[in-house]
Amino acid sequence: MGTGKRTLIAAAVTVVCALTVLAVPCTAFAAPSPTPTPAATSATTPPAAATGTVTPPPDKDLEAVREQLDRLYHAASVATDAYNAAEEKSQQQSAEIVQLARKIVEGQERLDDLKDRAGAAARAQYRGGGLPDEARLMLSDNPQQFLDGAGRVIQGERATKGLLGEMTRTQQDLKQYAADASAQWRKLEANRRAKAAAQKDIERQIKAAKTLESRLEKRQKERLAKLEEEAALRAQTAWLDSGILDEINGKASAQGKKAVTFATAQIGKPYVWGAEGPDSYDCSGLTSQAWANAGHGIPRTSQEQWKQLEHVDIKDMRPGDLIIYFGDASHVAMYVGDGAIIHAPRPGRTVTLAGAGTMPILGVVRPDA
C-alpha cells in the first residue's frame, strides 16, 4: 500500500476515532433544548434545604408538594426530550461524516489514478511528436497506415482531454466533500455543547425533586403517594365519564399487536432518562423500541413522534397507537385498549399500566398509518 493511500485511510480512521470519543456519554452531543413552559421554568430552582435537621413541610402542604414535584419532573421530561433529539441528530451527523471521509479517500484514490493515466497519455503523445503531420504523410511508405495512426492520435488527444475534465470534476468533488465534512463537524461540536447543557438541566430538575422528597417523613411519603393516586383516578374518571370509551373500538393492526406485546413485556423495568432498553427506558425510548421491534421504525422523541407521525382522532385510536401528552408533547404512552396505556412515567418509577386519561392529552398518532 502506498504512503499516500495509507495517509488518507489513516485520516479517515482518525475521523471515525474522533467520533467514537465524542460518543462517550460524558461528552455527548445535543440539539438546542425546547423552550420550557412557564410552569417548567418556575420549577427549576430547588427548594432551600434547611441547615442541620431537615424540617418536613406541614401535612396541609402535601398537595402543593405533589404539584411542585409534577412540575419538576415535567421540566426534566422536557429536557430529556431535548437530550434524546440531540442524540438522534448527532448519530446522523456522525454517520454522514464517516461517509464523507470514505468519499474523500475514494475520491483521492480516483484522482491519483486519473493523474497516472493522463501522464501516460501525455508521454505517449510526446514520443510520437516531431515532424508536422503533412511532412510525415509525404515521407510515409504507407499513407493509409499513417492516416489510421493519425486517427488514433486524435482519439488519444480526445481521451486525454476527457481525463483532464474528469480530474477537474474529481478535484471539485473532493473540495465539496471536505467542506461538507467541516460543516458537519461544526454542527457536531455545537450539539455536543448543547447536549451537555440538556444533561445538566435534567440532573438539576431530578435533584430538586429528590431534595424535596427527602424532606418528607415516611408517613408523608405514603400520603403523597395516595394523593398522586387520587389525582390520577380523578383525571381518568373524568376522561371516562365523557363517554369517549364508548366511541373507541378500533382493532389493532398486526404490527400494532407486536408493539403492544413488546411494551407489555417491559412492565416493571425502571425509568432512566435517555434509555431505550433493554433493561430500562424513558417514555419515548419505550415507544420507539416497541415499534422498532414490530418492524416499523419511528422517531426517537415524543416531540418528533407528534410532528412526523400521522394524527388520528381519539375516538378512532386503536391498540398500538401513541398518545402524546401535555401542550409541549413532552410525554408519550402506548394505547393498549380498554382506556389503558403502558408508559415509562418518570425517574423513580417503572414501566407501568395506567389510565389513558390520567394526564392532559395533546393528541394521538399512528406509526403504521
Residues marked active site are found at: 283, 331, 343
DSSP 358: S
Give Cα 86 distance to the centre of its chain. Answer: 6
202, burial (CB in 10 Å: exposed 0-12, middle 13-18, buried 19+): buried
Q: What distance in Å separates the CA atoms of residue 292 and residue 314, rounded to the nearest whole number?
A: 23
Q: Which residues pair with 364 in a beta bridge?
A: 312, 323
Q: Which three cell numbers stand for residue 59?
A: 401535612
- Strand, helix or coil at 323? strand
- Angle at 290 (CA atoms; ends 289, 295), nearest 5 degrees: 90
From the list 241, 267, 254, 256, the residue with the least C-alpha distance to 335 is: 256
> Helix (H, G, I), strand (E, B), or coil: what is residue 354?
strand
